[in-house]
Structure formats: C-alpha cells, structure tokens
Structure 1
C-alpha cells in the first residue's frame, strides 16, 4: 500500500521504518528539509528493536508534501497535536476523495483537522481517524536512527465522519492489524492515554524535573501517590466515555502498569528498562504540557462539563498547570466551548460526528 508518513519525530521515523520493512511504499515528509537530509542522502532509516539493528530503505523521503501525498491510500500523522493546524493547512491543497488520514493519537484532531481542511477550500471526501496512543514506544537515537522498545497490540480507533468508519478501519488495518473500531471521533479521542498519564506525572514531579538535569518520570517519578491520582483521573475519563454512550473496552490505564491487557501489552517494565525516557523535561515547553495538558486534558475536562460528569482531578490538574504557566487553561482551543460543540444537544452532537459538517 502507498503510505504517507507526515512528521519528523520519534513516532514518524518509527512508522516510516516499520511500515517500509513490512513491504509498504512509504513516503516520509518532514517540513525541516535540512533535518531530513541524512535520510534523503542515505535513502534509509536505521531501525533498532528486539530483533537487532538494520538499515530500512525508505521509498521517498521528501520535504515536498504534495509528492508525499500523491496517490497515498493511507496518511499517517504520528505528530504532536500542536503541529496539526500547520500540517492540515499544508495538506489541504493535495487531499483527494477516498484517502484515509490516521492520527495516532489525535487529541480530537480528526475533527479539528477536517474542519481546517474544509475552511481552506478542500471538500474532498476524506476519512479521518484517531487512536489512543502511538503504535510504538520509540525514541530517536540519531539523525536517522530510531529505537523501538515495543509495538502496540491493540489500537482502538474512532473515525470522523463515523459514516466512513468501515472503509477507514479496513484501510488502516492493512498497515496496522492491531487497529479495531471503537466508534466515532469523540470515542477515539477519549481513548487518548497522553492526557491521563502525563499531566499527573508532570505536576507531581515538578520539583525534581526542575531540579535535576535528567529525570525519568516513568521510573522514579511513578510512585504510589502518583499512581493513585492517575487511576482516579482515568476513572473520570471512563465515566465521560460512558456518559456519551461509548461502550468498552475502555482500556483502563491501570492495565498499562499491572498486566498485559493494555494497548501495548505488558509495556511499563520495558519502557523503564530501556532508559530512553530519562530525559530533560521543560515544564513550559514539553509536549506533555503543550499537547497532553493544554490541549488534551482541557478537552477531557470540557467533555466532562458537557456530559455533566464530575471530574475534580482533571479540573484540578488543569488549574495547577495553568498556575505555573500563568494562564487559564479551561477555555483552550480544544475545549468543547472553543470548538462550538458545547451548544449542541447530545443527539445533535452524535449526528455531527456521524455525518460530518
């Protein structure tokens, strides 16, 4: 299958190498042409995982997004949500009927990017889908080298508009057999693990993150008090899903720590053992704040308000982060209010998510 991978981070390089090795024709686009040049020059990415180290050829590494998207059946965006607006505008002139865009994860980006593309004048009949996590726990080890610690084995995926769900899931499963449908885009967005796991880790590890040059929030930073807050926040997420009528499995985050039933299977021990997450984290600029808190947690809190679900942990964490950032995060750009969804009835919201705008 012809697949476009858009992005230059850990997940994008992992996806490009992994899907190329699986036999797909992969086009890797990155807007930073200079940073992509080593991949262009070599024509490959160095992939490291439990099977060893090898060079994986990439069919087309390019800084030309039009070339990357041309005839692509599947477009994968393993990129932070903060980049979605720019990428949507860059994609808009090139998308055509029948293409499937997959956001792993999306932070409700399936809805937001579709709207941005329409506002740019493109009315192509495109399916947008998002899942709960990246298909890979991965970190780049060099300018064209990526280490994959583990691959997801379950990827619950919602589709916007939901009327195109069958086509979208069938297409994505050619690349990612672990994908399964979980309903509409709201259901997919409420599977996103980032806004549940990362804000408590950032808030409750704020002092060591600012004190030490490098700190592993998944090792020393994951203590019983942190786990207790994370589990309660996840119960709020699940209550919101249920309030909107989304059934299980909800993939409770406790399974990530306690057993092998989560999206990655039994991953937490491998994540810690890899050492790849012992890093410097800026409390103001890291994507765990800019993406998972300012966008993702604000979205979850606003969904709770709309559904009438009491979510004190979500709102409390949002207030604390807003405290050290110096701004009110309750009305962020991904809130129901900002997206014009707060005014919709439950039936009207379901209809919007099924039919599209």
Structure 2
C-alpha cells in the first residue's frame, strides 16, 4: 500500500519506519519551512529501537506536497495541531478521490478539514478521520533514530461524516500498528484526548520550576504531588461531565491508560508516580511555551470548555487552566479556534449529532 506521512518529527519518523518495515511503500513529507529531521536523515534510513527495533528504508522523502500525495492511498498527518489547517489547505489542490486522510492526534481537526473540503467541492471525494493519539510513546534521539518506549494496545478513531467509519477502518486496519476502536463521532473522540488531562495541569503547577529553564526533572514522578493529582482528576471529571451532556459515557483517564498499556493503578497519584512508561524518560518541557501548554490548552482544553458552554456547563477548572496559561504565556488561548463557536453556532445537540453522522446535505 502507498502511504504518505506528513511530518518528520518524533511520531512521523516512528510511524513511517514501522509502516515501511511492514512492507508498505512509504513517503515522508515535510514542509520546506519546517523540515523537522528530514534534511538530516542519511540514506533514507530510519532506525527504531526500544519496544520494537529495526531499520527501515523510506521509499521517498520530499518537501513537495504534490509529489507526496500523487500516489498516496492513505495519508497520516503527524504535525503539531497549530499546523494542521495551514498544511491541509496546501494539500487540498492535490487530494484525489478515494484518498483517506487521518490526523494523529486529531484534536478536532478533521471537522475543520471537512469544511475546507466543502469549500473546494471535494467533501464527497476524500475520507477524513481523527485518531486520539500516536500509536506510540516515542522520542526521536536524533535524525533517523527513534526510541519507541511502548506501543498502545488500542487507539480510538472517528470519521467525519461518521457514516464513513466502517469503510475507513476496513482500509487501514491491516496497516495500522495497533487495534482500532471506533468512536461515535469526532466530538466523542476529541473528548478522549488524554494529553490535555495531564499535561497543562502539571505544567502550570510546576511553572516556577520549569520557567527557570535550568533544572530538568522527571515530569511525572517528580512533578506530581497528591495535591496536583487532585487537580488532574478534577479536569478528568469535568471532561466526563461534558461528554455526558452529549450522550457519551467516557472512561476515566486511568481506565484509558489501562486500555493503552495494560497497567492498572488505583489513584491518579499512583499512576503518574509509578507508571514505567511515563517515567522511563524525564519528559520535562524546557519552557512554558512548549506543546504541553501551547497545543493542549488552545486546541483541546479550550474545545472541551467551549463544548461545555454550548450546553450550559461552565467548567471552572478548565476555565482556570485556560486563563492562567494565557497569562503566563502573554497570549489569549480563547482566541484560538473553538469548534462550538466556529462550526456549531445555532445548532442544538440533535443538530450536531445529525451533522457529524451525515455530513453536509
């Protein structure tokens, strides 16, 4: 199968390498202004180590989006969320009927992609889906060398429109590195993005330590106290309350982690301080502007909070995280995209459900 991976960072390299080692014809694309590791990968070879190991020869590595999409059957977007929409707009002129575009982590991006396709009169030609995360916990050691700490046992997926999900799963099941779990729609999937449950809270409550930029520490086992774990749990509880307003009964963060890694803990504190996957590396951000805040707050927490407001529920803990993060980084994360305002204005819960399942009329 011809597969293109958009993005050449930690996850893009890992995914491209494993797909190539599984016998697929893989192309990696990186934007010329944000090449990631692309320019420094020697001989089109990516070596992976850790949970799985081996060396993969990548069929094509390019900065031409036209070349990257020309023969692709499946396209994975592995970019930071802030780059999703701008990159997708570059892709649209070269997308062809029958291609499948999957975004990991999706962070509600496919809903916006669908509107862009509608404007280009391609919404019935191209298939779109979001995945909840990368299938790995991984870190690039250097260009062409990636450490896969662990592989998740299952991964949530949802499409827009939702009625296409069966076709999409059938097409990618044999090539995707882990089991796929279907979610009802993009909203249910987006409310299951686990990074936003832990990252922003732990960052904010360690802001003094991280802000100095001097001391690298184990982000989870040293960054989480019993008190901080209570705030993480509060975010998780409000996420699940908002989901119930939309008819979804979601698992807790601890239950999701058990499904990912087959590890079980009785409390949030025990999980974060004892999980071998989360504590093998320090995983400590170098500044308060890194993606644990700059991605997870505007593109996930802000979306959750907005979805809550849409049905009359104002999460105080989420609002506090957004406002404190904005103050610390001298920005306004409320001004970033907000799916409930941008796309669901004037819709009630029934209208939203019908749109997400059937798409544009």
- Please report the TM-score for the alignment, with normalisation by the length of structure 1: 0.90
User: Which residue does 1:336 correspond to in 2?
Assistant: 340
Partner of 1:317: 321
Q: 1:34 to 1:178 in 2, by over 3 A?
A: closer
Q: 2:283 aligns with which of 269, 277, 302?
A: 277
Q: Hey, what does 1:265 align to over in structure 2?
A: 262
Q: CA 1:273/1:340 → structure 2, altered by over 3 Å: closer, same or farther? A: closer
TM-score (norm 2): 0.89
Q: CA deviation at 1:123?
A: 4.3
What is the CA deviation profile of residues 283-306 of structure 1, one whole-angstrom value per residue up to 9, with x for unaligned ones?
13x112221002211101001111
Out of 38, 41, 53, which is 2:40 matched to?
38
Deviations 1:120-179, CA, capped at 9 Å, x for gaps: 564452221112222111111011111110111111211111121111122232222411
Match of 2:182 in 1: 181
The alignment yields a C-alpha RMSD, in angstroms, of 2.1
Residue 220 of structure 1: how far off its partner (Å):
0.8
3-state SS of 2:67 partner: helix
Q: Which residue of structure 2 aligns with residue 356 of structure 1?
A: 359
Asked whether 1:345 is paired with 2:348, we answer yes
The equivalent of 1:207 in structure 2 is: 208
Indicate if the aligned counterparts of 1:253 and 1:262 stay in contact, CA closer than 8 A: no
The answer on whether the counterparts of 2:155 and 2:180 sit within 8 Å (CA) in structure 1 is: yes
Q: 2-side partners of 1:126 and 1:51: how far apart? A: 33
Q: 1:130 to 1:264 in 2, by over 3 A?
A: farther
Is the Cα–Cα contact under 8 Å of residues 131 and 192 in structure 1 kept in the other structure? no
1:245 equivalent in structure 2: 247
Q: Which runs of 5+ in 2 are unaligned?
A: 264-270
Contact 1:88/1:117, CA 8 A, preserved across alignment: no
CA contact (8 A) 1:215 1:279 kept: no
Q: How many residues align?
A: 347
State the alpha-carbon separation in 1 of the partners of residues 108 and 67 from structure 2.
Answer: 27
Shift of 1:330: 3.1
3-state SS of paired residue (2:114): helix
Q: Does 1:126 align with 2:131?
A: no
Q: Which moved more, 1:320-329 or 1:117-126?
A: 117-126
